[in-house]
Amino acid sequence: MRKDFNQLNYYEMLDLQPNAVPYEIRHAYNAAMQLYQPGSLVSYSFFSEKERREILALIEKAYQTLINDQLRKEYDDELVRRGEIDAKEETAPEVKKPVSVFHISRGPTARTVFVSSDALKDRISQSQVIKDILAQSVLSGQDLKQIRTELGLTIEQIAEETKIRVNHIQSIEEGQAQNLPPAVFLKGFVKSYLKCLGLESVDELSARYMNTVSCLK
């Protein structure tokens, strides 16, 4: 018997080695999202909606932590203290070796296919959670994130589709004024983000978001 899912550390959760590089982390995150997103053949009959949401939230947390150098370092220190992983050895920077002509080790070229906007609209119209969020008069970064995970979309996918940098999307979802992208860009970013989620009346929603975050200041 293995450990409970919510007792796994972030590496175990995403099936990663403690020395995984960001590329692998992103890959594992995307794989996990595919497994657990609503409507996935593998997991749809395995969990209740509530369980699924909890798992998605954990995976999201794991990813956000591991993909951020600073947070990951703190988390690793914590794991070392708990004796779950060994302290990293300081390795000397690797000397570049000649690469074989035939061995071009690039990441996979296959781009994850973005969900069609019709499919998204379907999911939105069928999700009570999203309806509830949209019925409120406020719209926080947390809300956006919840809509996104509910739709089974990853930050990576949004970034790829909108061409907004990952860290900007993260800050938008965190909604903390000091980390937000410069005001001149923010509104545009939020709009394309909302559009990318397949939401309607983007102008009104982005105004709602701007209001909500400016209240936090």
- Residues lying near other proteins in the complex (CB under 8 A): 1-5, 8, 15, 35, 41-47
Least distance to other proteins from the beta carbon of 67, Å?
Answer: 21
Nearer to other proteins, 3 or 81 (CB): 3
Least distance to other proteins from the beta carbon of 210, Å?
Answer: 38
Nearer to other proteins, 54 or 160 (CB): 54
CA–CA dist 18, 147 (Å, integer): 30
| CB < 8 Å & 24+ apart, contacts of 202-206 | 205/134, 205/139
CA–CA dist 12, 181 (Å, integer): 33
Least distance to other proteins from the beta carbon of 42, Å?
Answer: 4
Q: Are 106 and 155 in contact (CB under 8 A)?
A: no
Least distance to other proteins from the beta carbon of 43, Å?
Answer: 6
Burial 111-126 (b: 16+ CB within 10 A, else e): eeeebeeeebeebbee
Nearer to other proteins, 61 or 88 (CB): 61
CA–CA dist 45, 132 (Å, integer): 24
Least distance to other proteins from the beta carbon of 62, Å?
Answer: 13
Q: Helices (H) and strands (E) in the chain — how many of each?
A: 11, 0
Nearer to other proteins, 15 or 200 (CB): 15
Nearer to other proteins, 37 or 171 (CB): 37
Least distance to other proteins from the beta carbon of 184, Å?
Answer: 44
Sign for the CA dihedral angle at 149, 64, 207, 157 comes to negative
CA–CA dist 112, 37 (Å, integer): 14
- Tokens 């992208």 sit on residue: 181
Nearer to other proteins, 6 or 137 (CB): 6
